[in-house]
Structure 1
């Protein structure tokens, strides 16, 4: 078994292409440019995290956060009044996990959580639509 760190940031175009491929395999309608190339980092300020299986080194999950679309638009419009707050916000844009790899490792359930001020109705609908069992607020898995 490898002792390498399982989570790392994708900082090269090759690493980001691998994350893009995972997202494309997870979402049928994803844009082929969803994960920004390194040359676009000044505009989107992305954070692309990759989780690799510690045993095999294979990509098992990825997450992408970027500046919000509003911040990107203001940057492109050269609106300097947005500069002080532009990088104080980042939007979780994509997240994918290879479920079969989790099952192979014996994982029986996985979960996420949200803060109270987050609108969860759309998240609940998304996960329900994709076959997950969504628990009521505050409930623990049995």
Structure 2
């Protein structure tokens, strides 16, 4: 695999990448990112291969409990199962640790099995499930101690 590097990025980078992630039926637009990230500590991490963006991870401080919320992320299909998600997760966790956070929190949906498998394999624990009308849309809350 070509070398992949991770750097801080922008909302514009993330929105452009989101449009290329097939699982995102209605990707968030710039205004939603600005609403969540404005005036709060946050991180936008972008994975690059040969100067092209191939994945991202966005998180922010959602609560004042020492946790960092890993909100959105995605990898272009051609770059999946090649370690890109792990690089982005490691980057985010190291950054969060340096900022003084002690927990990473995230949510995923039951239908997004690869994300669920990745989180569990990366040390996250399921702490809660929000039931929805369709079991595939259940929200699974996960946490990882740093």
Give the TM-score taking structure 2 as reference length: 0.49
Give the TM-score taking structure 1 as reference length: 0.50
| More helix as a share of residues | 1
| More strand as a share of residues | 2
